[in-house]
Structure 1
Amino acid sequence: MTHTRNNLVENIFQQSKFSDDDIAIVEDGCHLTFSLLKNRVYRFAGIMKKNGIQPEERVLLLLDDSSFFFVAFLGLIYMGAIPVALNPRTKDFKHFLNDSGCVAVILDDHSFKLNQSFLPKNLSCFINSVNNQENTTRLDFNIIDDAPYGSCLAVTPQSPAFWQYTSGTTGLPKAVVHHHAGMLANCELFSEYSLSIKPGDRIYSVAKMFFGYGLGNSLFFTIYNGAVAILDKQWPSTERIRYILEKYKPTIFFAGPKIYHMILNDKEKFVELLPTVKTFFSAGSFLPESIFNQWHRIFNSNIYDGVGCTEMGHVYLSNIMNPKAPVSANQMIPGYEAKLIKTNKMDINISVPIKNNKHDAIGEMWIKGPSQFLGYWKNGSIDTSEIKNGWHNTKDYFLRIEEKNYIYHGRSNDLFKINGRWVVPKLIEEKILNRFSDVSEAAIVSYSDKTELTACCLCVVHQHSTTNDIESYLVQNIESYMQPKFILSMHELPKNCNGKIDKSALSLIVKEHLSQEIVV
């Protein structure tokens, strides 16, 4: 049955542990009370309705982390539209425009300048700016504060609420459709019950809100638990992180392994800034033991580690119950279920359940839980074909120990994560082969650098183009996190018995080159 109380925004506002006069958001130059945040969300919803935005129509958001992001994202859900948060620096904007079938886009000055040439004339374009731009509608808080309230759309708990994009095995980002009840489950089971976020906590997430990890951390977990959101528009650097820590003194710190590694490399400047933080959490990609151990030794604190996926909204597996062993004691967040399915690699279509073994059960992890997505958006509708009897295949390999602890053993295919985001080798390889005619072969493989973080290596067979030429091209044409750290020129790439590039053999070659510190 539809009801306004099922609406994610109405629900989370009702359950919030904030009082109206409590400060909900702090950012450079200002702060927002919970009362003012709610008022602006309601008014933003009215503006969208007045401009013709209808329930379940998609609206792309290319915004830096700010209170305006909060207002826009929540305002759209409140009136029934579907917000789709994207990296404001994305190079795939044209794909998102075409795939989403969006009716509007909301940008700030920076993202507007980057994507202005791609904007169709029939698309409603709103800009968070004090300046007027041709063929756009200007939105700022002065305008929002004068607008009338919009109405809350009555929905069912399983109605679509918002989308997030992830990368699929084809190399093209896929839209994950989340329902109104999903993020509430993440808030209750993970942020409140497992991580124990309390009213008055101050949360600083280095991970940005266009990323599912950051969206939960900064936006939903703060409102639900009555914790202050510390927001920063700027891209993270050690200097910027130090500034935020010193000025706002967060009690909970969310980041990925790369950020923890950056801090360790500049540890002397952080020793006196970290004692106010009671909880450090890492997710987005695997946390190396070396970082965990160094952190504990230098700062006398543990880093909680988590595993999540876009399809489940946030973290479903963590070492919270046993933080001293991040790679060998990850357990399911209460409320989620997991099973391991062993895939016979001789026939990818044959999958059989693993027999219960306390010590060596291994396979692809299938999970289900209350925050599970509705499906992928495909050809104008929600495709549920990849959800089997309520279970979702993460395509991650895990080893299970004593029936409850899981050790991550990598992906079941060529994809790998850097800074919490999937690298799609085929996408980079095709770009190189299409751009440089003298490159006859190209292959991307992952490797662990000296800090045990995953990095990207490009192996090429070429004649005239230099590695500098290739590197310059990639800087301009692919996302920064996919940039190869190392380009290896070779006379020929290893092949398997079918004549295809053998990436397992290639990975060994790369490892050998790097171990001997050979620069080609």
Structure 2
Amino acid sequence: MTGNRNAALHFVDRHVDEGRGDKVAFREAAGQRRSLTYGALARRSDLVAGALARADIRPEERAACILLDQVEYPEIFWGALKAGVVPVALNTLLSTPIYDFILRDSRATCLFVSAELLDVVMPAARGVDSIRQVIVIGGAAPEGAIAYEDFLQGAKPGPTRVVSDDECAFWLYSSGSTGQPKGVRHVHGALKATADTYGAQVLGIREDDTVFSVAKIFFAYGLGNAMTFPMSVGATTVLFNGRPTPQVVTEILAQERPTIFCGVPTLYAATVHHLEKTGVPAGDLRLCISAGEALPGEIGNRWRDLWGVDILDGVGSTEMLHIFLSNRPGDVVYGTSGLPVPGYELRCVNEDGQEIVPGEVGELLVRGASAAEGYWNKRDKSRATFEGEWTRTGDKYEVTPEGRFVYCGRTDDMFKVSGIWVSPFEVEQALIAHPGVLEAAVVPQRDEDGLEKPKAFVVLKDGVDAAATVDALKDFVKARVGAWKYPRWVEVVPDLPKTATGKIQRFKLRESAPEKEHA
């Protein structure tokens, strides 16, 4: 294709050219009430590009972004793209040693950081030789850093760098649900690819929509929800920089009146429990979506009963940038991940690489234009994941005769009992269906004979008697999914280990489970 394919032209500047300069693109929730129009975003992102050039942050160098969801985030992200600098969107809930690892791994030359995060981030940043500039948003800058407004002061608007669709635009780091995070490199064309497929053909997002995503911008799912999709049509996004508790989320749904709500299964489950006690406020929801982990059907049904709106459960990944498999409006079957999103091809293969037939379980592979170009400095992992045009997801699925995909678990989470594959997710859904259970995770544990059997970790609802519930859960699961699949051990825990994006870290539960224990 000819011409400048810089994604910022399509997602930012185009709206000014088409007369939406005064339309609010972003507004902050929970009393802050700052907002940013498309016109202001175009001007401010130009200033960011100019300030980066003035600071000698050069094209293709990395700008680490450890930022809360606030109006400066889109200014910085799109300004970096305009300058040809590669923003690296980082999880805001990591520890200092992990930031040290990622900053060194990415070789970032500058760092944008929210003031609230300085105490955790700066001890890591000070030891990274590649970082030449630290810019602080929303507060005073410590010695050796500069405040964001001072960084922009006096900068000349920078020109938008001419790039192709295939030039690297930004990085994300995998959420680390199975170990050390990996740098995932995405190209300019991938952003529009997700908007043209899931955004347009599943969500059917419109200019008059208002979107609220509890998944933060640093997460691939949140980046699409909060920026790519609304900005593809000139819609408005509600940003919230705090922790999305059920009470806070309910208040935002009532006060900000979004039409599209983007959640994760853990939050949906907790919010359903909250609303069943407090009641449902008035709202304007027309669509709700979920990703990050498979949504238990029980939660989807209860949410629909409360709001009168289905949850469109879907599957995406950091490597594919957003959702490529989903239920869709008017065609929701809870307990399944739906059908391929238009523009993507999917197949499930067995251990020999042969496509499975209904009733079998295989690994899911996907092909589509939003695939990452690879992992940073992880050649073996890149070759194992990106096989030509196909990307291995690491998810195990069944395919029904009707062509719907049924999630079984991560490749590393599946295990056999009596020679038969057991899906942790299937057992977890059965556990969550019990009225006393809020959350559940299932992992294999070896019994006294050295054979693997399911062990369940459960979070109970407030006021539920633990002893009585644990005794009842085994028979409850037997009746729902089969005698051999029931958990031989049930441990009540206050919470489950999760990534910041809501994925249960089952590998941590496996590590905590002893090798042998009497049933």
TM range (shorter): 0.7 to 0.9
Question: Contact 1:89–1:114 (CA<8 Å) still a contact in 2?
Answer: no
Question: Contact 1:263–1:270 (CA<8 Å) still a contact in 2?
Answer: no
Please tell me the residue identity of whatever aligns with 2:189: A
Match of 2:486 in 1: none
- Go from structure 1 to structure 2 and tell me whether the alpha carbon gap of 1:334 and 1:216 turns closer, same or farther (over 3 Å shift): same
Name the CA distance, whole Å, in 2 between partners of 1:478 and 1:272: 27
Matched, 1:87 2:91: yes
Question: Contact 1:162–1:177 (CA<8 Å) still a contact in 2?
Answer: yes
Question: Contact 2:362–2:398 (CA<8 Å) still a contact in 1?
Answer: yes
Structure 2: 5+ residue stretches without partners: 416-423, 434-438, 447-494
Matched, 1:455 2:441: yes
The Cα of 1:241 is off from its aligned counterpart by 1.2
The Cα of 1:243 is off from its aligned counterpart by 2.5
The Cα of 1:329 is off from its aligned counterpart by 6.0
The Cα of 1:364 is off from its aligned counterpart by 0.8
Deviations 1:137-168 (A, max 9, x none): 2113x763753201111111111001111156
Name the CA distance, whole Å, in 2 between partners of 1:111 and 1:407: 39
Task: State which drifts further: 171-180 or 259-268.
Answer: 259-268
- Go from structure 1 to structure 2 and tell me whether the alpha carbon gap of 1:103 and 1:454 turns closer, same or farther (over 3 Å shift): farther
Please tell me the residue identity of whatever aligns with 1:113: D
Task: State which drifts further: 480-489 or 184-193.
Answer: 480-489
Which of 108, 112, 116 is equivalent to 2:114? 108
Deviations 1:410-436 (A, max 9, x none): 1111499xxxxxxxxxxxxxxxxxxxx
Match of 2:145 in 1: 136
Alignment RMSD (CA, Å):
3.4
Match of 1:74 in 2: 78
Question: Contact 2:174–2:182 (CA<8 Å) still a contact in 1?
Answer: yes
Matched, 1:26 2:27: yes
Match of 2:385 in 1: 386
Deviations 1:242-273 (A, max 9, x none): 22122211110000011111211121577443
Which of 207, 230, 237 is equivalent to 2:245? 237
Matched, 1:212 2:198: no
Q: Superposed, which structure 2 residues align to 1:83-482 within 5 Å?
A: 83-91=87-95, 92-120=98-126, 122=129, 123=131, 124-140=133-149, 144=152, 146-166=154-174, 171-268=179-276, 271-320=279-328, 323-328=331-336, 330-343=338-351, 351-354=352-355, 357=357, 359-378=358-377, 383=382, 386-402=385-401, 404-414=403-413, 448=428, 450-451=431-432, 453-455=439-441
Task: State which drifts further: 39-48 or 27-36.
Answer: 27-36
Match of 1:7 in 2: 6
Match of 1:468 in 2: none
Question: Contact 1:18–1:34 (CA<8 Å) still a contact in 2?
Answer: no
The Cα of 1:95 is off from its aligned counterpart by 1.3
Aligned to 2:375, the other structure's residue is in SS state: strand
Please tell me the residue identity of whatever aligns with 1:26: R
Name the CA distance, whole Å, in 1 between partners of 2:513 and 2:34: 58
- Normalised by the length of structure 1, the TM-score is 0.77
The Cα of 1:238 is off from its aligned counterpart by 2.0
Aligned to 1:89, the other structure's residue is in SS state: coil
Question: Contact 1:42–1:150 (CA<8 Å) still a contact in 2?
Answer: yes
Match of 2:477 in 1: none
Question: Contact 1:367–1:391 (CA<8 Å) still a contact in 2?
Answer: yes
Please tell me the residue identity of whatever aligns with 1:448: E
Name the CA distance, whole Å, in 2 between partners of 1:377 and 1:489: 28
Name the CA distance, whole Å, in 2 between partners of 1:103 and 1:161: 16
Question: Contact 1:318–1:331 (CA<8 Å) still a contact in 2?
Answer: yes
The Cα of 1:110 is off from its aligned counterpart by 1.7
Percent of aligned positions that are identical: 27
Deviations 1:302-324 (A, max 9, x none): 11111001111000000116543
Structure 1: 5+ residue stretches without partners: 344-350, 417-444, 461-474, 495-505, 513-520
Question: Contact 2:165–2:188 (CA<8 Å) still a contact in 1?
Answer: yes
Name the CA distance, whole Å, in 2 between partners of 1:379 and 1:489: 25
Aligned to 2:216, the other structure's residue is in SS state: coil
- Go from structure 1 to structure 2 and tell me whether the alpha carbon gap of 1:319 and 1:94 turns closer, same or farther (over 3 Å shift): same
Deviations 1:490-510 (A, max 9, x none): 99623xxxxxxxxxxx8xx8x
Match of 1:60 in 2: 64
- Go from structure 1 to structure 2 and tell me whether the alpha carbon gap of 1:456 and 1:202 turns closer, same or farther (over 3 Å shift): same
Match of 2:452 in 1: none
The Cα of 1:289 is off from its aligned counterpart by 0.9
Q: Superposed, which structure 2 residues align to 1:477-492 within 5 Å?
A: none
Question: Contact 2:257–2:284 (CA<8 Å) still a contact in 1?
Answer: yes
- Go from structure 1 to structure 2 and tell me whether the alpha carbon gap of 1:322 and 1:330 turns closer, same or farther (over 3 Å shift): farther
- Go from structure 1 to structure 2 and tell me whether the alpha carbon gap of 1:256 and 1:487 turns closer, same or farther (over 3 Å shift): closer
The Cα of 1:219 is off from its aligned counterpart by 1.2
Deviations 1:275-332 (A, max 9, x none): 4111111111110011011122233221111100111100000011654313236100
- Normalised by the length of structure 2, the TM-score is 0.78
Aligned to 1:125, the other structure's residue is in SS state: strand
Task: State which drifts further: 260-269 or 204-213.
Answer: 260-269
Aligned to 2:376, the other structure's residue is in SS state: strand
- Go from structure 1 to structure 2 and tell me whether the alpha carbon gap of 1:90 and 1:180 turns closer, same or farther (over 3 Å shift): same
Q: Say how many residue pairs are matched.
A: 445
Name the CA distance, whole Å, in 2 between partners of 1:146 and 1:233: 28
Question: Contact 2:65–2:90 (CA<8 Å) still a contact in 1?
Answer: yes
Please tell me the residue identity of whatever aligns with 2:441: A
Question: Contact 2:294–2:337 (CA<8 Å) still a contact in 1?
Answer: no
The Cα of 1:199 is off from its aligned counterpart by 0.6
The Cα of 1:30 is off from its aligned counterpart by 1.7
Please tell me the residue identity of whatever aligns with 1:96: I
Name the CA distance, whole Å, in 1 between partners of 2:270 and 2:165: 41
Name the CA distance, whole Å, in 1 between partners of 2:301 and 2:154: 53
Deviations 1:369-411 (A, max 9, x none): 0111111111699955632221111121111123631111111
- Go from structure 1 to structure 2 and tell me whether the alpha carbon gap of 1:290 and 1:106 turns closer, same or farther (over 3 Å shift): same
The Cα of 1:478 is off from its aligned counterpart by 9.4
The Cα of 1:172 is off from its aligned counterpart by 1.5
- Go from structure 1 to structure 2 and tell me whether the alpha carbon gap of 1:132 and 1:269 turns closer, same or farther (over 3 Å shift): same
Question: Contact 1:458–1:486 (CA<8 Å) still a contact in 2?
Answer: no
Question: Contact 1:458–1:488 (CA<8 Å) still a contact in 2?
Answer: yes
